[in-house]
Structure 1
C-alpha cells in the first residue's frame, strides 16, 4: 500500500512539496515534545517543515513539566505520569479520542510519532471509527528492548510479549497506511510482531549540516577540556541505564590503565538525580578523565561535537542513533557497538568502526589505535562529513510529506470522491459506542498491568536495571535482527 502511490517517483520521493497537502488538516501526536532526545528533535523538524509549506497542523503531546515556553494555540498537552527513571517521558492517562477532536479539529490525516502510551490509545480508538482518516506512524523507539532491560524478571518477558502483541494488533488497523521504520533491525521486529509488510517504509533521520559542522571547532574550549593536549573522546546521549555507560566506564578504565592521555566528554543528563549519580559513580577511579557537561543544545552542542576528536557510541538500544549522524556531520570518526540503527549509518573502516556488542577489548583497542593516528582520524572525519552532507532534514521530511500525500490520494481513490465524513467520536450506533467503551477499558487494563508497577516501585527498578547492565559488556541482549 505505502509504496504504490501514483504521486511518488520510482525513488520514493519527489523534489518539490506535494500540493495536495497544502491547506490540509493534520493531527500530529508525539510521545515527546520538549525533552532533548532524538524523537523530539525529529518531530520538531517535520512540524516546522509542514508548517512552512502551508499545512494546518494540531500537535498533541504528553505533559512536560520542564516546558517553560509559551504554549501556542496549536499545541495541546495531555496529563499523565512521568516515568521515575526518565522524568522527561510521560505515560498519558487514558483519554477519549472525541475529546481531542472536539478541542482540535476533524483532521484529514493523522501522524503518530513513536507511538506509545498516547499513540496506542489513539490507534485503539481509531479502529472503532467507521470512516477514519488515514494514519501514518513513525516507529522510532524500541519499547520492547527497554522493557527487557528495565523491568525485573519475569515482568520483563511479559512486557516484551505484551508490546509485540499490542503493536502487531494496532498496526494492522485498516486506517494505518504507512509505518515508517528507522533501520533493518527494527523492520525484522515489526515483521515478527505482525505488522503488514506492504505498509513498511524505511525512513531515516536527517541532520542539520549548517549547525553541526567542523567549523564549530573551538580551540579555546578544547584547551579548557584538555589542558595537557589530551585526545578528546565524546559521548552524547541521555543519561540512562540502557545507554551503555557500564560498557563505556570499562573502556575508560582500560584506557587509563594503558596510560592513554584522554579526556572523556559526556554530554547529556537526566532530570532524575538518582540516575545521574549512578552513572557518575560508574567512573569512580577515572573521574579525573571524565567531564559531565549536562544537557547541551544548539551552538553549545555543536561546539562540543566539533571540538572533540573521536565519538564513542556504546548504546545498544538505538533504533537510529541521531547523535551518530550529528557527530559525523561535525567531522568526527565514530566507534560504535554493532547493533541497531548505527549499524546502518556507519561505513565500517571508512567513516568509523562497528564493533561486536560484547567485544570490550576490540572496542578499547580501536579507541587506543585511533587516539594515536591523526592521519587516519583526519581521513575518516572527511568521509564522515561527506556522508552527512547527503542526509539532510530537507530530504527526510520531503519523503515523509510525499507518503502523506500518497495516503490522502489513496483514500480519495477508495471513496471515489464520495467518502462520508463522520465526525470522529460521534459514532452513531449503540454497538459501536459499546465497542469504543470496551477499547478504552482495554487501555486501562493494559496500563494497570504494564505501567503501574513502574510508577509504584519508582526508583526501586533503577538499581535492578543497573545490576542487570553491570554484565552488559559480557552478556549483551541482541537487538532483533
Structure 2
C-alpha cells in the first residue's frame, strides 16, 4: 500500500499529532508499505526511511502552520498513493483532502485538535460557530474521519459531520512501565523531586493556554506534596506567576528514556485542561502505573474511570481538582490500587495493534472508492 501523510504538525515540533504520525510511519515501514510525508517547513528530509516534503509555513504561537501550496497536488500526483492520511487537518490538510478528491484518491482524516474549543476559550463568540463550520467543511471532504473519543464523536455528530469512526491512540507499554521505579536514574530523580518524601504530583505536556496548567495553583498550601512539570511553551511565564507559592520543579521538555524516568518518578498525574480530544499523556501515565486526575470533559472521560484508575473533577472547578488530588496524597494504598488499574486498562493499546486498525480503515476507504468507480462505470440500465 502507498500512503501519503499530510500532517499539520511534524518534527521538530513535538505534539500529540507529531507523535501519532511518527508511530504510524514506523508501523508502515515495519509492515512493508510505502509512504511520503507532506508537512510544514522545518521538517527533516526523511523519517523512518520515507521522504518528507516541506511546504511554506508561518509561525503561530511557536508552531509552524503549513500554508496551502500547489506543490501539494503535484506531490500527490507524482507519488500516486492508494490513500491520503490527513493528520489533524486545517489549512494544509484541507488542501491535501481537496487534492486527493481531484485526483480520485480516497482520504482518511484524523480529528485531533479542538479548533472550536480554542474559539470558545478565547471568548470569540460568533467565531465558535465559524470554527465548527470550517471543521465540518474540511472533514466532509474526506472519505472517513477518525475520532479519538466519545466526546469528539458527539461534537462532530452534533455539527453534522458524516462518515465517522472511532480510532484511539497507542501507548508504549515497555517504555512506560511501573518497573522503572526501581531504576537508579529514577531513584536519583525522585531524590531531587521529593527530598523529604513528599508525594510528587506530575504533569507532562505543552505549556500552552489550552492545557490550563496554571490551574495547579489550586494545590497551593497542600501539605506533603511537590509538583513536577515536564514540557515548555508560551505559557511558561504565566504558569510561573500563577504557581507562586507552590513547590514546583521545572524539568523542561523531555523525550525518550528521560521522559519515561519522569513518569516513573511521579506518584500522581494531573491534567487540568478541558479541551483534550484524547489525552495521550493520560495513557502514558496509566502505562507507568500512575493514578490520574483529569477533568470530566473531552477525551479523559473515556480514559479515566472515576474511582477506579483515577478521579474526574468537575470542569473549571479548582476546588474539586484540589479535593481529588488530596484524596490520593493522603492514601498511598489507593494510589497503588488505582495505578495498577490504570496499567491494566491500557494493556490492549499497543501502537502495533492501534496502527493495524488504522490500516484496516485505509483498506475500507480504498475498497469503497473502488466500488464507486465500478458503479459509475456501469451503464444505468445494467445496474437495475
Question: Do the structures match in fold with TM over 0.5?
Answer: yes
- 1:163 is displaced (CA, Å) by 2.2
Q: Once the two structures are superposed, what CA deviation does each residue of 1:185-244 show, in whole Å capped at 9, x if it has no partner? A: 111221222211xx2111111100010001222222111111111110101110011211
- 1:114 is displaced (CA, Å) by 0.7
1:241 aligned partner: 209
Q: Is the 8 A contact 1:168 1:194 kept in 2?
A: yes
- 1:70 is displaced (CA, Å) by 6.6
1:149 aligns with 2:115: no
1:314 aligns with 2:280: no
- 1:164 is displaced (CA, Å) by 1.6
1:280 aligns with 2:240: yes
2:9 aligned partner: 32
TM-score (norm 1): 0.73
2:360 aligned partner: 402
Q: Once the two structures are superposed, what CA deviation does each residue of 1:12-69 show, in whole Å capped at 9, x if it has no partner? A: xxxxxxxxxxxx22111111111222111111111111121111101111123xx578
Partner of 1:389: helix, strand, or coil? coil
Q: Is the 8 A contact 1:164 1:193 kept in 2?
A: yes
1:184 aligned partner: 150
Aligned alpha-carbon RMSD (Å): 2.1
Rounded to whole Å, the distance in 2 between the matches of 1:36 and 1:107 is: 26
Rounded to whole Å, the distance in 2 between the matches of 1:115 and 1:386 is: 32
Structure 1's unaligned 5+ residue stretches are: 1-23, 420-481
- 1:91 is displaced (CA, Å) by 2.0
Size of the alignment, in residue pairs? 371
Q: Is the 8 A contact 2:56 2:69 kept in 1?
A: no
| Aligned partner of 1:78 among 55, 58, 62 | 55
Structure 2's unaligned 5+ residue stretches are: 378-384
- 1:118 is displaced (CA, Å) by 0.8
Q: Once the two structures are superposed, what CA deviation does each residue of 1:225-274 show, in whole Å capped at 9, x if it has no partner? A: 1111111010111001121123212x221xx1x4x11110011112x4xx
Distance change in 2, residues 1:98/1:120 (3 Å)? closer
Q: Once the two structures are superposed, what CA deviation does each residue of 1:426-464 show, in whole Å capped at 9, x if it has no partner? A: xxxxxxxxxxxxxxxxxxxxxxxxxxxxxxxxxxxxxxx
1:359 aligned partner: 317
2:105 aligned partner: 133
Q: Once the two structures are superposed, what CA deviation does each residue of 1:353-407 show, in whole Å capped at 9, x if it has no partner? A: 1111133222212211211211111111111111121221112111110111111
Rounded to whole Å, the distance in 2 between the matches of 1:252 and 1:235 is: 13
Task: Trace 1:89-238 onto structure 2 (pairs within 5 A).
Answer: 89-96=63-70, 97-101=72-76, 104-127=78-101, 129=102, 132-150=104-122, 156-173=124-141, 176-196=142-162, 199-217=163-181, 218-238=186-206
Rounded to whole Å, the distance in 1 between the matches of 2:250 and 2:315 is: 24
Task: Report which of the two structures shows the higher radius of gyration computed on alpha carbons.
Answer: 1
Distance change in 2, residues 1:122/1:70 (3 Å)? closer
